């Protein structure tokens, strides 16, 4: 069976969704009206909390990054360098981009509040590009960061204080990119990774968890929706117990031991009203059992906190504390 045939068959029974429609060849047309894009803001005269600009990385794969610069960097009285965060956006591995306004705003807030340099990765999406394409794109950005002559990074970023961060589907990508990075730390020098930030990361598995059963009728990420998402994102023929989906299968990746040996710390967030909650807790526990320094922030929130300013404020505080501690 060809990849194109399998792609068409895999999309046949996917439930209708307001954010995309499937084409006859199995590719996807995405609707950006619910989560619109916003332009980068590189002009220091603009009234923004952080500057941003888009830079191409791999033109063959059409990947690029949006870099966020805190305004503190423009203070000519200091030569301070700022922590560097490589960020992968959410969207269930299928949707959205580094230009999506909600992620642009999130990165702007973190850049301004920490303060830090944020490199937001626009990676390839499934089903046109199944995993591990997005993982490879994130790791390629790490390699690009270490060699680029991009002024904002060379002038203002502290390469000895790098964090890999991801949100939802981007949290899955950040985790797997970090596993790859842990196996090639010498090759990434002078970039030195200090930790990993997983914001309600998107994972799965064949057997239902308690939170998936309890929240089966949730409008956000009900189990049937996540099942179809994995069907579109995983390698053709793989089930949800594939290592890309289920990080605890087989006792977890052998490279988790590298997190401990390298002294990396890992921040994991989750909410008990999120169908994915138990999977986030399971991963945090697995890493703790392997001796990794894990900082967990679990509350009673659903998967999407965009409309909850109190919880968003707490999130910004916790990210700042984690990066600067």
SS3 (DSSP) at 209: coil
Q: Which of 89, 104, 242, 303 is catalytic?
A: 303
From the list 97, 274, 278, 301, the catalytic residue is 274
User: What distances in angstroms separate CA 149 from CA 41, 88, 144, 290, one per listed residue?
Assistant: 20, 22, 9, 38
Residue 43 to residue 41: CA distance in whole angstroms: 6
Contact (CB, 8 A) for 28 and 94? yes
Is the alpha carbon torsion for 31, 35, 36, 37 positive or negative? negative
Residue 53's closest CA among 43, 63, 62? 43
Residue pair 252/290 in contact by the 8 Å Cβ criterion = yes
Phi–psi pair at 84, nearest 5 degrees: -115, 130
Check 52, 161, 168, 253 and give the catalytic one. Answer: 168
Catalytic status, residue 274: yes
For the chain, the straight-line distance linking the first and the last C-alpha, in angstroms and rounded, comes to 51
303 is catalytic: yes
Beta pairing partners, 167: 199
Helix/strand/coil for 108: helix
The torsion defined by the Cα of 131, 102, 11 and 26, in degrees rounded to 10, comes to: -80
CA distance 89 to 309: 19
Q: Is the alpha carbon torsion for 33, 34, 39, 44 positive or negative?
A: positive
In angstroms, the CA 67 to CA 39 distance is 12
Catalytic center residues: 168, 274, 303
């Amino acid at each position: 069976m060809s990849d194109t045939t399998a792609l068409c068959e895999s999309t046949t029974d996917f439930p209708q969704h307001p954010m995309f429609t499937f084409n006859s060849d199995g590719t996807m047309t995405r609707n950006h009206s619910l989560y619109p894009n916003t332009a980068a803001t590189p002009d220091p005269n603009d009234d923004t909390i952080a500057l941003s600009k888009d830079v191409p990385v791999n033109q063959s794969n059409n990947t690029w990054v949006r870099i966020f610069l805190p305004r503190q960097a423009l203070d000519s009285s200091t030569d301070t360098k700022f922590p560097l965060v490589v960020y992968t956006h959410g969207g269930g591995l299928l949707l959205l981009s580094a230009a999506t306004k909600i992620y642009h705003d999130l990165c702007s807030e973190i850049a301004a509040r920490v303060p830090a340099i944020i490199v937001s990765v626009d990676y390839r999406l499934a089903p046109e590009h199944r995993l591990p394409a997005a993982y490879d794109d994130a790791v390629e950005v790490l390699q690009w960061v270490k060699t680029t002559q991009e002024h904002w990074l060379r002038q203002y970023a502290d390469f000895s204080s790098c964090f890999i961060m991801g949100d939802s589907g981007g949290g899955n990508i950040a985790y797997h990119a970090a596993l790859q990075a842990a196996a090639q730390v010498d090759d990434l020098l002078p970039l030195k990774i200090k930790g990993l930030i997983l914001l309600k990361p998107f994972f799965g598995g064949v057997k239902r968890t308690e939170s998936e059963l309890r929240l089966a009728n949730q409008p956000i990420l009900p189990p049937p929706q996540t099942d179809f998402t994995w069907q579109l994102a995983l390698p053709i023929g793989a089930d949800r117990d594939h290592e890309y989906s289920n990080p605890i299968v087989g006792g977890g990746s052998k490279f988790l031991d590298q997190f401990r040996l390298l002294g990396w710390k890992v921040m994991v967030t989750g909410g008990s009203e999120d169908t994915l909650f138990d999977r986030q807790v399971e991963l945090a526990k697995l890493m703790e059992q392997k001796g990794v320094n894990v900082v967990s922030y679990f509350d009673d929130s659903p998967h999407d906190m965009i409309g909850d300013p109190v919880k968003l404020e707490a999130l910004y505080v916790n990210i700042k504390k984690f990066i600067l501690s």
